């Protein structure tokens, strides 16, 4: 009979279930283990954690009848030959839990094991009989035989002697001493540890990918290197970016993301504002990758050399910044691969290569890669090689452009292959598409994912979306990274909301999500003019032309952003997503929420006026237990706008003004030791 092993150590029966799918013991394994968490699609994908986090494994564990059960979680870290055992404890209603801390990056696994604990069943039953005044002489002999069995299993170990002594005491205990002997914790522990386990049910291994903390808590800044020159009109270089590093680091960012730095195609190059024809000096879009100078593993000469790039990566790291490289797997018509590997592209009957199109729109400057090519293995190797090339150059973070337009099996393979050797490398999925597609990419290995944050502006939609992100089971694999703007996304809210809109959006991003990013200097300088009405494209977008930015212009949000990022660094509550809780507000223009650190000692509450045009006020109705405070007065320190408040009880009044204090970011000041319930 065919049997297929599946996720929970269980067996899918064929038409007639086999009686012995895993040997002669099958029929004696009375314990069932179900609904193990964390697990993603039953173990098909890995749950995600970062080093230092505590993992809580839970499972439904039960058996027939009323015997006492016991169980453990068997944990293996990367490279561990032996699994470590963590005891399961009953939570309630057949749900059991165990906790352990993951202290190394890499791929961990765990499995759950459970068995009938005859020894404890005997001990509890006998104790009840003693309490009821029943004769337990036979029970004591039963117990003595358990001790005999444990002693025999211990063999020559010193504990065998102690176990033999327990057996002797059980056989010769005075009737008045039976209760004390049964209640003797030392005896119970001795027996429990030595007793052989019989008929143990064990699940299959479930995977857990442990990333560096940056995967959980990261603050991104995107800039176009070619726009970093101090002289207007000159093409920026990696050296200019190096000069810009302190500006970025001082604002408190820890990831510097650069659009593609490769040679840019010349055929069908686009001009400013996506004009169909470029002028002779137009630089083209960095995403039209590849020219005679090279492809995905080359550097645009105007930016510098690969040595310059390596220097930038190293200097950035000295300032606490990881350089995130853009990976956009598509080719300009001049890309060397078009000539060298024609089968990696789709050819039309007229002998041309199929360019990107979304009928009736045409993008003749971009050739998509034909992943259905029979030569897909060579193609995959080449694409893997692109990642490895830049990892060799020092890159540890990749922002992947439109991963949802390349096959899912490729991403699972390439990310898995890279992380097997380089578990420290992180991948951000730039997929603004349908939810199931975004979730699949996250499941199959992307460390972080872009979100719909840019288009969520109202109180209820923000609350609903961030509750889903932080509380639904998808949080096991989908780590959000929220961006108020990107080079492709200048929202209506930013176009028309003035400076308060920019402040609101960055306060929300920085405090709702442990990872966020901005596209600068456009963001901090309040760039807000769209190419045309109804468009989310920037006018004179850096995607198609070099810009010169006056970083010192009055009104720059640089100090605001620096303050927010300092608050994030100083308050562990803001460095995780899962503790997010929303509090009710009477006024729909006010959003109120809080986060707390894992130990409950650091609690941050934010109140934001979502209306960039008008002062708004109203009552907030707090979930006091989420704040770790009782009914009495409690202090709040505004880390963002300054000031101190004393609030009491669940209902408190807030007034916010877009041109004054438009948001509170409040630290809850509680007696030390008080924690969130």
- Non-local (6+) Cβ contacts of 288 within 8 A are 264, 265, 269, 270, 332, 365, 366
344-403 residues in contact with a copy of itself (CB under 8 A) are 348-350, 352, 357-360, 371-372, 374, 376-377, 380
Q: How far is the CB of 601 from a copy of itself (least distance, A)?
A: 36
Q: How far is the CB of 625 from a copy of itself (least distance, A)?
A: 25
In terms of CB distance, is 60 or 293 closer to a copy of itself?
A: 60
Greatest extent of the chain over all pairs of C-alpha atoms, in Å: 104
440, 479, 505, 528: which one binds a copy of itself (CB under 8 A)? 440
How many other β-carbons are positioned within 10 Å of the β-carbon of residue 551? 14
- If binding is defined by CB under 8 A, does position 532 make contact with a copy of itself? no
With beta carbons less than 8 A apart as the criterion, state whether 515 and 482 touch: yes
45-64 residues in contact with a copy of itself (CB under 8 A) are 60, 62-64
Residue ranges of E strands in 440-489: 448-450, 480-481
185-244 residues in contact with a copy of itself (CB under 8 A) are 198-199, 204
Q: How far is the CB of 280 from a copy of itself (least distance, A)?
A: 29
Q: How far is the CB of 295 from a copy of itself (least distance, A)?
A: 21
Give CA angle at 230 (229, 234), nearest 5°.
50
Residue ranges of E strands in 476-625: 480-481, 515-519, 581-585, 590-596, 603-609, 616-621
Give dist(CA 159, CA 30) in Å, integer. Answer: 29
Antiparallel, parallel or unpaired: β 89-92 and 95-101? antiparallel
In terms of CB distance, is 26 or 389 closer to a copy of itself?
A: 26
- If binding is defined by CB under 8 A, does position 672 make contact with a copy of itself? no
Q: How far is the CB of 641 from a copy of itself (least distance, A)?
A: 41
Quick one: DSSP state of residue 352? Answer: P
- Among candidate residues 240, 365, 370, 401, the one labeled active-site is 401
- If binding is defined by CB under 8 A, does position 123 make contact with a copy of itself? no
- Non-local (6+) Cβ contacts of 534 within 8 A are none
3-state secondary structure of 292: coil
Give dist(CA 324, CA 305) in Å, integer. Answer: 17
With beta carbons less than 8 A apart as the criterion, state whether 320 and 254 touch: yes
Q: How far is the CB of 9 from a copy of itself (least distance, A)?
A: 11
Quick one: DSSP state of residue 578? Answer: T
With beta carbons less than 8 A apart as the criterion, state whether 290 and 335 touch: yes
In terms of CB distance, is 168 or 434 closer to a copy of itself?
A: 434
Q: How far is the CB of 136 from a copy of itself (least distance, A)?
A: 10
134-173 residues in contact with a copy of itself (CB under 8 A) are 134, 138, 141-142, 145
Alpha helices in 535-659, H assignment, sequence order: 558-570, 624-627
Number of residues that bind a copy of itself (CB under 8 A): 81
In terms of CB distance, is 44 or 172 closer to a copy of itself?
A: 44
- Let me know if 64 is a catalytic residue: no
In terms of CB distance, is 130 or 289 closer to a copy of itself?
A: 130
100, 247, 363, 408: which one binds a copy of itself (CB under 8 A)? 408
- Let me know if 430 is a catalytic residue: yes
In terms of CB distance, is 339 or 377 closer to a copy of itself?
A: 377
The residue range among 282-290, 415-423, 463-471, 515-523 that interacts with a copy of itself, by the rule CB under 8 A, is 415-423
> Pattern of binders to a copy of itself over 63-102, x per CB under 8 A?
xxxx--------------------------xx--------
Antiparallel, parallel or unpaired: β 255-258 and 218-222? parallel
99-118 residues in contact with a copy of itself (CB under 8 A) are 107, 116
Cα 631 to Cα 579, 584, 585, 618, 625, distances in angstroms: 21, 17, 19, 20, 10
16-45 residues in contact with a copy of itself (CB under 8 A) are 16-20, 26-30, 32, 34, 41-44
- 445 closest CA partner among 471, 405, 413: 413
With beta carbons less than 8 A apart as the criterion, state whether 443 and 436 touch: no
Instruction: Give catalytic residue positions.
Output: 401, 430
């Amino acid at each position: 009979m065919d049997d297929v092993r599946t996720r929970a150590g269980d067996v899918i029966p064929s038409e007639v279930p086999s009686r012995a799918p895993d040997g002669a013991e099958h029929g004696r394994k009375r314990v069932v283990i179900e609904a193990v968490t964390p697990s993603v699609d039953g173990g098909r994908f890995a749950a995600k954690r970062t080093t230092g986090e505590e993992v809580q494994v839970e499972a439904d564990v039960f058996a027939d009848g009323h015997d006492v059960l016991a169980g453990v979680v068997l944990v293996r870290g990367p490279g561990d030959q032996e699994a470590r055992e963590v005891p399961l404890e009953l939570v309630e209603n057949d749900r059991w839990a165990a906790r352990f801390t993951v202290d190394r990056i890499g791929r961990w696994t765990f499995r759950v094991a459970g068995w009938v604990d005859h020894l404890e069943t005997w001990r509890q039953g006998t104790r009840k009989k003693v309490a009821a005044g029943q004769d337990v002489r036979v029970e004591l002999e039963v117990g003595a035989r358990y001790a005999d069995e444990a002693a025999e299993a211990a063999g020559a170990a010193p504990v065998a002697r102690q176990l033999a002594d327990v057996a002797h005491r059980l056989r010769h205990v005075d009737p008045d001493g039976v209760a004390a002997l049964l209640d003797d914790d030392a005896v119970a522990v001795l027996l429990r540890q030595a007793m052989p386990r019989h008929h143990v049910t064990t699940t299959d291994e479930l995977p857990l990918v442990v990333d560096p903390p940056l995967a959980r808590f990261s603050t991104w800044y995107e800039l176009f290197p070619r726009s970093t020159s101090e002289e207007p009109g000159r093409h920026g270089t990696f050296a200019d970016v190096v000069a810009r590093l302190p500006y970025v680091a001082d604002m408190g960012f820890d990831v510097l993301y650069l659009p593609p730095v490769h040679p840019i195609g010349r055929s069908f190059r686009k001009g400013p504002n996506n004009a169909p024809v470029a002028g002779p000096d137009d630089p083209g879009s960095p995403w039209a990758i590849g020219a005679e100078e090279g492809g995905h593993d080359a550097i645009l000469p105007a930016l510098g050399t690969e040595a310059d790039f390596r220097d930038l990566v190293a200097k950035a790291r000295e300032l606490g910044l990881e350089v995130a490289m853009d990976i956009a797997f598509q080719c300009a018509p001049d890309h060397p691969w078009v000539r060298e590997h024609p089968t990696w592209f789709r050819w039309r009957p007229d002998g041309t290569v199929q360019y990107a199109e979304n009928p009736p729109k045409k993008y003749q400057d971009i050739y998509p890669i034909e992943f259905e090519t029979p030569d897909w293995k060579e193609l995959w190797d080449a694409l893997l090689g692109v990642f490895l090339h830049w990892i060799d150059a020092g890159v540890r973070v990749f922002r992947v452009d439109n991963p949802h337009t390349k096959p899912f099996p490729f991403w699972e393979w390439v990310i898995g292959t890279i992380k097997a050797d380089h578990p420290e490398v992180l991948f951000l999925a730039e997929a603004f598409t349908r939810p199931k597609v975004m979730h699949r990419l996250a499941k199959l290995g992307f460390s972080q994912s872009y979100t719909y944050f840019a288009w969520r502006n109202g109180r209820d939609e923000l609350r609903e979306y961030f509750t889903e992100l932080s509380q639904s089971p998808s949080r096991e694999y989908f780590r959000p990274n929220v961006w108020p703007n990107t080079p492709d996304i200048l929202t209506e809210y930013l176009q028309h909301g003035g400076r308060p809109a920019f402040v609101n959006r960055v306060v929300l991003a920085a405090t709702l999500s442990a990872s966020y990013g901005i596209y600068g200097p456009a963001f901090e300088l309040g760039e807000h003019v769209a190419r045309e009405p109804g468009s989310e494209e920037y006018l004179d977008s850096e995607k198609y032309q070099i810009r010169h930015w006056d970083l010192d212009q009055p009104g720059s949000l640089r100090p605001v952003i620096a303050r927010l990022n300092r608050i994030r660094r100083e308050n562990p509550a803001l460095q995780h997503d899962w503790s997010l809780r929303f509090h009710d507000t009477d006024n729909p223009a006010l959003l109120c929420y809080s986060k707390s650190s894992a130990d409950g000692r650091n609690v941050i509450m934010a109140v934001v006026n979502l209306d960039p045009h008008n002062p708004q006020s109203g009552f907030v109705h707090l979930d006091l237990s989420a704040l770790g405070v009782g009914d009495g007065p409690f202090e709040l320190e505004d880390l963002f706008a300054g000031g101190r408040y004393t609030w009491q009880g669940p209902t408190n009044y807030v007034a916010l003004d877009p041109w004054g204090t438009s948001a509170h970011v409040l630290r809850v000041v509680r007696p030390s030791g008080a924690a969130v319930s």
